Chain A
Amino acid sequence: MKSIRWGGLITFVITMLVFASALLFAGTILKPLMESSFTAMNGAKVDIESVDVSYSPLTLEIKNIQIADQEQAMVNAVQIDQVKFAASFGQLFLGKLIIDEASIHGIRIDTPRHKPGLIVQSDDEDLLDAVSDDSLISMPKLEVLDVKSILASNPLLSDKLIDELDKDFSDTEVQWKTISESLPDKEKSDEYDTRFNNIKIMAKGDAKQKITAIKDAKQLSSELKEEVKKVKQAKDRFGTDIKRINAELKVVKAAPAKDIAMLKSKYSLDNMNAENISQMIFGEQVAGYTALAKKWYRRIEPYLSSEEEVETVEVERSKGRDVVFHEFRPMPVVYIGLASITANLPRGLFEGTITAISSDQTIKKEATRFKLQGVSLSNKDSETVSGEFNYIDKNNGFSKIKYSVVKSKIDDFVLSRSDKLPLTMKQAVMDFDLNARFQQGSLNGMAKMRFKEVAFDSGDTSSLVANSFKGVSAFAIDSRFNGSVNNLSIKIDSDLDNQLSRQLKNKLNQEKKKFEDELKVELDKKLKSPMDKIEAKKARLNSVKNKIDDREKQLQQKIASLKTTIDSEKTQKKKEASDKLKNKLKDKFGF
């Protein structure tokens, strides 16, 4: 026993015991280590309330994990009340965390923090804010039109033509006043009457007087014919003017119809439709959800893409090389067979499981699958999310997710805050199905929404589109998306467009009719005064015409009367000459 150094043996044993005793405080040692490493992974602070380790079996219990939001200092992106799992002790010595069963309870999101959780200022663009910007929405200007302001602000053809006609009338009137004055007036007519009467008196006189009367009659007749000629010329000219003015008046009367057509065309009531309105409205919502998905994808991307090197690990030359041999029961560095989860989210309480969480799926050839189901849901019949992360084939790995909601009640869901189209879904019942698949950098999927018992509210807006929503009680929206995560193409189809188009068409027809009627009334009202003026002028011109006609008639009568007088005088004179000759013959020959 002399060869044994007892002091050394005791020292060795004590040293080993000191190291072993450290295991008793493993929780205290692990807590800061976990906090610092998780903080480095998260990019914002991760706080843990306590870590408890027990060794038979090896169990780790972590309480109250608060994972700070990278963008909001006083908000936890995720808070987990408890994580508990039993790990394989032997595998842990080999640097592997193998857990058959784990439980994660009390997951909550967006919970408040007591102290700031930011460690660096995030430079990520705030996509949610960006998409909620109303400037993205370009709404059609479908509003009830104000006829008076339209008439006041648009130059009308009617106005122009009425002005031109009015001027023409005025010029013509002045011209005709002059012409009218040059025509024989009453005084002249009386003079003609006097001369005519004198001729008639003289015609009953002696032969000399009769001869003078005939001369005067011829003179008078010649003058009257000259006057008639002048009147006829004036009448012809007047007829031309009247014809022109009537033609102009006809054009003026047709002008309001042209104005109405022009205004209808300008305010494009005919071309309004509801095409892609659902894309405009729900596109904003979809873009918001897409931005949220991108935000979360960026957070989990580093963990999804982590791959384990298995064949050889190249290290510094002085540290040699680790040669890997075939494992009888190969295990990845991290593996959790089954994790049961409860999450208390704003949408309700969710329960579910995740199976085969693995740092390298190629080793156990098991895909990670998860399923979470809502329980005790207040506003919906069911809500389920399930999915699969399958990277067993590293070159062709994929992630897929399926999300469905049945009979979700919607209250006061703001669809658009745009001034042009303030729209709120006051109530509705929605079924929602989402299927998405992410593979080789490309995201493809489809989301189907079925809305029933819908009631829209568009406030007091005069927008025809907004008012068209009031007639919609059920509709469906199908959206398809594909492309890379950062350049996603989204296509939204909906029968809402057709329904809105129908509603809008009816509304438009009503509005169109109302607009036309109002336009006609207002235009008539506006044109009445100038048209009355024109009609009065026309009446004055007509009176001039009548006056000329009368004058011509009188002159013609006078000429006829004069001619009758001359003819009668001629006949009488002839008779007298004949009688005289007969008497002479009778006297001479006695028969």
Chain B
Amino acid sequence: MITQIIKFLRVLASEAAPIQISMGIALAMIVGLTPLLSLHNLLVVFVLLTFRINLAAFLLALGLFSGLAYLLDPLFHSFGVTLLQHESLHAAWTSMYNSTFWRLTHFNNTIVIGSLVSTLLAFIPFVLITNVLIKRYRTHVLVYLQRSKLANWLQSSKLVTRFTSLSE
């Protein structure tokens, strides 16, 4: 856990653009909170590999969101039931249900649709907020920490160096 935090702090302190990190974390949110073996996750992986998105941030956040998914599944299930049984959407669902492509997405599963719609809705706000938070971290928290005696001591400490080297 400490290693993950250290790694995450390193990512935040890296030279990667904040948008790359926030995109990585947002995509991890989609993959982590929705069932892994779903067709939409193939698209996410394609985006992740094709565009310059921070993979380390993605992988670190994926672990976090995968754990979180177990807690949120009941909510996604309820939300999915609401969506799939909504009168106004019934025609659309029926149409999609009769399409091979959409059936492959497993959209008619309550957790798939609940979690996917939730994460897609949250995606852009999440990216924007994370982006702002990373920027603020770098300008305020990171600069303060770098200047602090504790940080200097930790950087010079052989124990911390050894620990981080072991962790890597």
Give the docked Cα–Cα distance between A240 and B131 (Å): 151
Contact B108 A322 (CB under 8 A): yes
Chain B interface mostly helix, strand, loop or mixed?
Answer: helix
Of A12, A94, A327, the contact of B46 (CB 8 Å cutoff): A12
Contact A5 B51 (CB under 8 A): yes
B32 close to A (CB within 8 Å): no
Which of B7-15, B109-117, B140-148, B151-159 sits within the interface? B109-117
Give the docked Cα–Cα distance between A12 and B41 (Å): 13
A488 shortest CB reach to chain B, Å: 46
Closest to B85 in A: A323
A303 close to B (CB within 8 Å): no
A204 close to B (CB within 8 Å): no
Contact B94 A325 (CB under 8 A): yes
Contact B46 A320 (CB under 8 A): no
Give the docked Cα–Cα distance between A538 and B156 (Å): 156
B160 close to A (CB within 8 Å): no
Contact B50 A9 (CB under 8 A): yes
A321 close to B (CB within 8 Å): yes
Closest to B112 in A: A320
A319 close to B (CB within 8 Å): yes
Give the docked Cα–Cα distance between A442 and B19 (Å): 72
Contact A320 B52 (CB under 8 A): no
Give the docked Cα–Cα distance between A355 and B51 (Å): 53
Contact A320 B80 (CB under 8 A): yes
B67 shortest CB reach to chain A, Å: 13
The number of chain A residues with a CB under 8 A from chain B is: 25
Q: A5-B50, A8-B48, A325-B94 are in contact. Are A318 and B73 (CB under 8 A)?
A: yes
A543 shortest CB reach to chain B, Å: 127
1/0 per residue, CB under 8 A from A, across B95-128: the answer is: 0011010011010111110100000000000000
In the complex, which residues of chain A have a beta carbon less than 8 angstroms from the beta carbon of B81?
Answer: 321, 323
In the complex, which residues of chain B have a beta carbon less than 8 angstroms from the beta carbon of A318?
Answer: 70, 73, 111
In the complex, which residues of chain B have a beta carbon less than 8 angstroms from the beta carbon of A319?
Answer: 35, 109, 111
Closest to A88 in B: B100
Contact A94 B85 (CB under 8 A): no
In the complex, which residues of chain A have a beta carbon less than 8 angstroms from the beta carbon of B52?
Answer: 2-5
When A and B form their complex, which 9 residue pairs have the shortest distance between CB atoms, in order from nearest?
Answer: A320-B111, A8-B49, A325-B97, A320-B110, A90-B100, A323-B84, A9-B50, A12-B49, A325-B94
Interface positions of A (Cβ within 8 A of B): 2-5, 8-9, 11-12, 90-91, 93-94, 317-329
A-B contacts besides A5-B51, A12-B45, A320-B110, 7 pairs, CB < 8 Å: A4-B51, A90-B100, A94-B104, A318-B70, A319-B109, A320-B76, A325-B93
Can you give 20 A-B contacts (C-beta < 8 A)?
A3-B51, A3-B52, A4-B51, A8-B50, A9-B49, A91-B100, A93-B103, A319-B35, A319-B109, A320-B76, A320-B110, A320-B112, A322-B109, A323-B85, A323-B109, A323-B110, A324-B97, A325-B108, A326-B97, A327-B98
